Chains A and B, each alone.
Chain A
Amino acid sequence: MAGLGTGRAVLFVVPALALIAAFLVFPALWTLYLGVLKYDLAGSNAAAPQFVGLGNYTDALTDPRFANSVLLTLAFVGLSAVLGQNGLGFLLAATLRRAVGWVRMLVNGLVLLSWILPGTVVVFLWQALLDRNGGTLNALLDTPGAAWTLDHPLATIVVFNIWRGTAFSMLLYSAALDAVPTSHLETARLYGSGPLRTFRDVVLPRIRGHILTNTLLITLWTFNDFTPYMLTGGGPEHRSETLPVYVYRMSIEGGQLGFGSAISLIMLVINLVIALFYLRLLRRRGG
Chain B
Amino acid sequence: MRSGPIAARSAAVVAVLVTVGLTATGCVSAKHHSGGGDPQRNANAKHATLTISTNAIVGGKNAQEATWISETLIPAFEKAEKAKGRDVTVKYQQNGIDDAKYGEKLELSLKAGGGPDIYIIGGDSISRYAKAGYVEPLEKVVGSKVDSWSGWQQVDKSVQQNVSMDGKYYGVPNGVDGRVLFYNKKLFARAGLPANWQPTSWADILAAGRKLKTLSGVTPIQLDAGTPMGEATTMQGFLPLLAGAGQQIYDPKTGKYQGDTKAIRDVLSFYRSLYVTGKLGDPKLQQDPNGRDESFSEFSKGKLGIIGESDYLWRSIVCPDKSICNATAMADRNSTVGYALIPAEKPGAGVDGQDFVSMSGGGGYTINPNTKYPQQAWDLLTFMRSPTQIKAQLGDTVQITANKQVNSEILKKDPALSFIAEKVLPITRFRPSEEHYSSVGALLEEASGQAAAGKPIDQIAKEYQQGVVKLVGADHVASD
Contact = CB atoms under 8 A, between A and B. Distances in A.
B131 interface: yes
B322 interface: no
B238 interface: no
A115 to B, nearest CB: 25
Interface string B202-234: 000000000000000000000000111000000
B20 A26 contact: yes
Nearest to B22: A33
Interface in B173-194: none
Interface stretch (A44-52, A72-80, A156-164): A44-52
B132 A235 contact: no
Interface string A24-50: 011001100110010111111011110
Contacts of A37: 28
Interface in A62-93: none
Contacts, number: 99
B104 A41 contact: yes
Contact of B442 (A7, A41, A254): A254
Given A41-B104, A47-B31, A47-B133, A235 B5 contact: no
A21 B16 contact: yes
A48 to B, nearest CB: 6
A215 to B, nearest CB: 32
A237 B287 contact: yes
Contact of A39 (B28, B129, B228): B28
A255 interface: yes
Contact of A42 (B24, B107, B227, B450): B107
B137 to A, nearest CB: 16
A54 interface: no
Chain B's interface: helix, strand, loop or mixed, by majority?
A: helix
A254 B107 CA distance: 12
Contacts of A232: 289
A17 interface: yes
Contact of B228 (A1, A49, A235): A235
B35 interface: no
A47 B131 contact: yes
Contact of A252 (B13, B104, B128): B104
Contact of A6 (B5, B25, B436, B438): B5
Contact of B289 (A21, A41, A235): A235
Contacts of A39: 28
Contacts of A40: 132
Contacts of A235: 227-228, 287, 289
A25 B17 contact: yes
Interface in B1-57: 2, 5-6, 9, 13, 16-17, 20-21, 24-25, 28-29, 31-32
A53 to B, nearest CB: 15
A41 B17 contact: no
B97 interface: no
Most buried by A among B131, B294, B453: B131
A132 B288 contact: yes
Contact of B100 (A25, A42, A237, A253): A253
B5 A7 contact: yes
A43 B287 contact: no
A133 B226 CA distance: 20
A183 to B, nearest CB: 47
Contacts of B158: none
Nearest to B463: A64
B435 interface: yes
Q: A-B pairs with the 5 shortest C-beta distances? A: A236-B287, A46-B132, A44-B131, A233-B289, A43-B435
Interface of A: 1, 6-7, 10, 14, 17, 21, 25-26, 29-30, 33-34, 37, 39-44, 46-49, 132-133, 147, 150, 232-233, 235-237, 252-255
26 contacts: A6-B2, A7-B5, A14-B9, A21-B17, A25-B17, A26-B20, A26-B21, A33-B21, A33-B28, A37-B28, A42-B107, A42-B129, A42-B132, A42-B435, A43-B127, A46-B132, A47-B32, A47-B131, A233-B289, A235-B227, A236-B449, A236-B453, A237-B450, A237-B453, A252-B108, A253-B104
Given A6-B2, A42-B107, A47-B133, 13 more contacts: A34-B28, A37-B28, A40-B132, A43-B128, A43-B435, A44-B132, A46-B132, A48-B29, A150-B284, A235-B289, A237-B453, A252-B108, A253-B442
